[in-house]
Structure 1
Amino acid sequence: MSLELLTCLVTLFVLAGIGAPIAYAILISSFAYLTMTGQGVGIAGKVLMDGLYNSFILLAVPLFIVAANVMNAGTISDRLLGFCVALVGRFRGGLGHVNVVASLIFSGMSGSAVADAAGIGKIIIQMMTKSGQYPRGYAAAITAASATIGPIIPPSIPMVLYALVSNTSIGYLFLGGIIPGLMMGAVLMAMNTVLSHRRDFALETPVPLVELPRRTVNAFPALLMPAILLYGIYGGVTTPTEAAAVAAFYALLLSALFYRALSFKALFHILVDSARSSAAVGLVIGGALILNYVVASENIPSQLAAHLLGLDVSPVAFMLGVMVLLLLLGCVLDATTIILVIIPLFLPACRELGIDLVHFGVVAVINCMIGLITPPYGILLFVINAVTRIPLSEIIREIWPFLVVLLVALLVLALVPGIVLWLPRVFGYAG
């Protein structure tokens, strides 16, 4: 390792360790490397512009953020919750099931775990704690666990970023996330059922079955969004970026005109919040592009791939090793940083070992999402703590059963690529 690279890494970890925003830590450490190697910071501008010019798909990120915020602000979340309560609220642990099913449905609109947790998740936590039937730590824990499904089922902002660094088809990545997302929902509902019977949670007052058709019709326009999105991409009507624009426009149309639940003032605040969120993601993306240039200059990915091949590592051992590493990193880094900075290091090794990049991408994104709820630093735990004021210790105490079943599901998905790749292959994927 060269002195310049060592200085870059030390600067990065010191700044991140003292609490500096990760985007600033990445930028400053990259500039330190460029200065020490005599390249000057001007090269950073060129790398940044080249990266953005060749990454039209990045436009999908702010558009999906707008769509999620519009969905949260209108009455769409309430209508979806009403539908979920009528559908699964009648079973023991009903509101826990509602929590998971709502995340499955809402994930088809937001593509963001934080958006799910802070938006519809906050509403369900209030419902669960208000009823007095669920400990507040349990309500927060199942909300955090179910929010991890958000970026797995399309649309998915992390998968857009993975497509950027891996040059993989975003359409096939989206398809690859559908079955794993449903699988994650199933294992969470199974664990909720077990815990509800073990703790003897009271049954909710069931919504009469005759109410289900009315609530379905009420929520149907919102339920159409994932279908419109997927048809646009896979029907050849739109590119993924254009589909993101359609999603944002449809959410706006639905909230403002169809449901009449969005004022101009609320829309202004939505656009401001979306701009802030997009800018935060954009800073990390910009820093990651420059840091990836640093990594490529040192030829680290090729050296890592050659080293792994020299050790004669099997694809299964490699996948398991990467999974453990990403889970550990997920305790201290956000998913965006891991996908943009860490995962590109392993892509050449994946190609050399014959690991399918769509399979690897879906498993890696799930890994990053589970990292969001892994104590002690899981970001989603802090988000829910911030929006609900439920003590972090109570959330961490209740999160473990859900974390375990998600890790089991992750292990199965990593070891059985056919689960992830079945749907993409149905639509013509040759991998």
Structure 2
Amino acid sequence: MELTGIILVVVFFALLLLNVPISISIGVATLLAMLMNMDVTPATITIAQRMVGGLNSFALLAIPFFVLSGLIMGRGGIAKRLIECAMALIGALPGGLALVNVVSCMMFGAISGSAVAATSAIGSFMLPEMKKAGYEPNFSAAVTAAAATTGMLIPPSNILIVYAIASGGVSIAALFMAGYIPGIMVGLALMMVCYGYAKIKGYPLAPRLPLSVVFKKVLQAIPSLFLIILVIGGIVGGIFTPTEAGAIAVVYALLLAVVFYKEVALNALPGIMLKAAETTAIVMLLIAASTAMSWLLSFENIPQTLSNALLTVSDNPLLILLLINLLLIVVGAFLDMTPAVLIFTPIFLPVATQLGMSELQFGIMLVLNLSIGLCSPPVGAVLFITCAIAKTKLENIIKPLLPLYAAMFVVLMLITYVDWFSEALPRALGF
């Protein structure tokens, strides 16, 4: 077991350092580790079977639908209307543009379910506007990177669907409900940092808009925001499943972008669908490869060994949970969210449940940890996109990110040690 685990870890990270795609790195590392226990033919057949079996889940059908709906909304002028709505409501407050940035990322992330999409759509508009208003470009980029990750918690979220599969059957609808309060808490914490930063720096206040203009901007954004009500309301009400909700989201996004807002031409749809297919293929290959690795870990009893080792570190459950959080933050800084969820859920979930944490609470804690990693160097995809939009270097936005990291970490600790934040809404709705 020790040799298999060592080969798995060493080969995996060696391939990552060589810039081999992560799905290929996982697959090759798994194959080489399996060759320690069996011949080439049974090893390759076993990996193929596990990869196919990992994709044999009805719940995974929701992912391509939500990916496609997110891409349509990203091109459909929805981000612009959400920004204008947020600007009308809170733009005149101290740090108004930074607050608008956070709220817009929260709303667009919730609608699209993608941190990368939120970064591109909101950042492309907000970063130039914040620069014009006198905000430091590095601070603006840091705010966008941190705020974009809130869409991982606020449903519909693809990564919550992946966790539901990895955990062995947690209700997707319950997970969606569990993500609302923590996601909003992260957004509010980031807004508090932005407010304080703006007061210290003395950024100018934007003029207050007349109530008629505010009402108009809010009215224009309602059709976009209604998608959340449609999808989540239908799931909670038992009208349709999360997978069916994804299909309905695609239809609604098409109507909104093509017919209502008229921002997407019909001849642009094939390109959008091709991009959705490419993104889905990448995600599915990650899931398939990670499933094979997870099976190997279980076959070698590595999760049980690590779980027992963690439980022997201390008798204090608070300390063990803190250690798990720190490990997950480090993992999130180096590993993509999808394989991280699939690989580390079977390792840490048994420990968390033994310490009295529910599967819902652990899932939200896991996703928030990995969300922090998503905007952390050296691998965080959101960071590189933000730096490209802001035309700045990665090292320049680390310092303004530090107070935002601190705010997210405080929320993480609250979620870790107080189950109410994750479970209040699911309990109230009968999940």
Please state which band the TM-score falls in when normalised by the shorter chain.
over 0.9
Equivalences for residues 271-290 of structure 1 within 5 A: 271-290=273-292
Q: Which residue is 2:43 aligned to? A: 40
CA distance in structure 2 between the aligned counterparts of 1:183 and 1:367, rounded to whole angstroms:
14
CA distance in structure 2 between the aligned counterparts of 1:45 and 1:329, rounded to whole angstroms:
26
1:280-313 Cα distance to aligned partner (Å, 9 max, x none): 1111111101101110110122233344445564
Q: Which residue is 2:119 aligned to? A: 117
Q: Which residue is 1:12 aligned to? A: 12
Q: Which residue is 1:347 aligned to? A: 349
Q: Which residue is 2:145 aligned to? A: 144
Q: Which residue is 1:23 aligned to? A: 23
Equivalences for residues 108-257 of structure 1 within 5 A: 108-129=110-131, 131-166=132-167, 167-257=169-259
Q: Which residue is 2:303 aligned to? A: 301
Task: Judge conservation of contact 1:359–1:420 (CA < 8 Å) in 2.
Answer: yes
Q: Which residue is 1:380 aligned to? A: 382
CA distance in structure 2 between the aligned counterparts of 1:393 and 1:11, rounded to whole angstroms:
29
1:42-97 Cα distance to aligned partner (Å, 9 max, x none): 111211222222x2111111211111111110111111111111111111211111
CA distance in structure 2 between the aligned counterparts of 1:214 and 1:132, rounded to whole angstroms:
24
1:330-352 Cα distance to aligned partner (Å, 9 max, x none): 22112122111122211222333
Q: Which residue is 2:400 aligned to? A: 398
2:70 match: secondary structure = helix
CA distance in structure 2 between the aligned counterparts of 1:279 and 1:4, rounded to whole angstroms:
29
Deviation at 1:277, TM superposition (A): 1.4
CA distance in structure 1 between the aligned counterparts of 2:329 and 2:398, rounded to whole angstroms:
16
Determine if the alignment matches structure 1 residue 49 to structure 2 residue 52: yes
Task: Judge conservation of contact 1:109–1:247 (CA < 8 Å) in 2.
Answer: no
Q: Which residue is 2:428 aligned to? A: 426
Unaligned runs of 5+ in 2: none
For 2:406, the aligned partner's letter is V
Deviation at 1:33, TM superposition (A): 2.4
Deviation at 1:20, TM superposition (A): 1.1
CA distance in structure 2 between the aligned counterparts of 1:308 and 1:94, rounded to whole angstroms:
45
1:90 match: secondary structure = coil
Deviation at 1:219, TM superposition (A): 1.2
Task: Judge conservation of contact 1:315–1:355 (CA < 8 Å) in 2.
Answer: no
1:194-228 Cα distance to aligned partner (Å, 9 max, x none): 11010000112332222111112211110101111
2:334 match: secondary structure = coil
1:292 match: secondary structure = helix
Residues 408/309 of structure 1: CA separation in 2 closer, same or farther (3 Å cut): closer
CA distance in structure 2 between the aligned counterparts of 1:124 and 1:417, rounded to whole angstroms:
35
Equivalences for residues 299-338 of structure 1 within 5 A: 299-310=301-312, 313-338=315-340
| Range with greater deviation from structure 2 (310-319 or 293-302) | 310-319
Equivalences for residues 46-125 of structure 1 within 5 A: 46-53=49-56, 55-125=57-127
Task: Judge conservation of contact 2:74–2:121 (CA < 8 Å) in 1.
Answer: yes
Deviation at 1:135, TM superposition (A): 1.1
CA distance in structure 2 between the aligned counterparts of 1:395 and 1:389, rounded to whole angstroms:
11
Deviation at 1:122, TM superposition (A): 2.0
CA distance in structure 1 between the aligned counterparts of 2:5 and 2:106, rounded to whole angstroms:
42
The CA RMSD over aligned residues, in Å, is 1.6
For 2:337, the aligned partner's letter is A
CA distance in structure 2 between the aligned counterparts of 1:2 and 1:100, rounded to whole angstroms:
45
CA distance in structure 2 between the aligned counterparts of 1:377 and 1:25, rounded to whole angstroms:
15
1:100-146 Cα distance to aligned partner (Å, 9 max, x none): 111221122111111111122221112212x2411111111111111
For 1:22, the aligned partner's letter is I
1:135-176 Cα distance to aligned partner (Å, 9 max, x none): 111111111111111111101111111101002111111111
